[in-house]
Amino acid sequence: MLLLTGAGLVAIGIAPVRRRLASLFGGTRETLPTSPHAAEPETVEEQIEIDVPVSTAYNQWTQFEEFPKFMEGVERVEQLDDTLLHWVGTVAGKRAEWDAKILEQEPDRRISWKSVGGKETQGTVTFEEAGPSRTKVRLQMRYQPEGLREKVGSIAGLDKRRIRGDLERFQELVERRGDETGAWRGEIHQGEVTGGDAWPPASG
């Protein structure tokens, strides 16, 4: 994220999500009045191949507080505990805050999350080997369009292009360094920590 995509995407907490931000982990966005008939859930998926090993790509993605480096519209991400993230961003010049909860985290395989409060946004990012020291990163977002503005954005392919842009910036970030800036390899299942490293990771 994911993204997100910002796709991010992932922030967790109590704050209601009233406007969905264009981020990996499902933020908020101002919408026009909605129809009494609920829209069908939308699913957007993009993928990219990155010239680093799977563990490097995965480890970098777990550095959630660095998401602003590649996610459009994301100003700050704070990891509150093992499964909870708080997000701050801007949408159309307006400041927004939202939360997301990590549901699944399997080292070197996948991370899944959902927004907390308001219209639910769900996302999954997966990592698989695409060749020697090469990784395919696939990001899928599922959300409920809230109004005409979101429906038109989906029809125009704006969400898909936004997610693609986030993935391309993530690719540039990781390939430029050649390694991860950190790693958190905790294991989470159904929103509960089940093993692996404790958070926050030990320094040094």
DSSP three-state, residue 162? helix
Annotation: CATH topology of 42-192: Alpha-D-Glucose-1,6-Bisphosphate; Chain A, domain 4 (3.30.530)
Residue 177 confidence (pLDDT) above 80: yes
Interatomic CA distance for residues 93 and 189, integer angstroms: 36
Residues 6 or more apart in contact with residue 158 via CB below 8 angstroms:
22
- Tens-place pLDDT, residues 26-77: 554 443 344 455 567 788 999 999 999 999 999 999 999 999 999 988 999 9
- Cβ atoms of 204 and 120 within 8 Å: the answer is no
Interatomic CA distance for residues 67 and 74, integer angstroms: 7
CA-based Rg of the chain, rounded to a whole angstrom? 16
- Cβ neighbours of 131 (radius 10 Å): 9
- Cβ neighbours of 20 (radius 10 Å): 26
Across the chain, mean pLDDT equals: 79
Residue 6 confidence (pLDDT) above 60: no
Positive or negative torsion for Cα 145, 149, 154, 158: negative
- Give the domain ranges of the chain: 42-192
Q: Is this model's pTM higher than 0.85 or not?
A: no
Q: Looking at the chain, how many residues does it have?
A: 204
- Compare 3 and 198 and report the one with higher pLDDT: 198
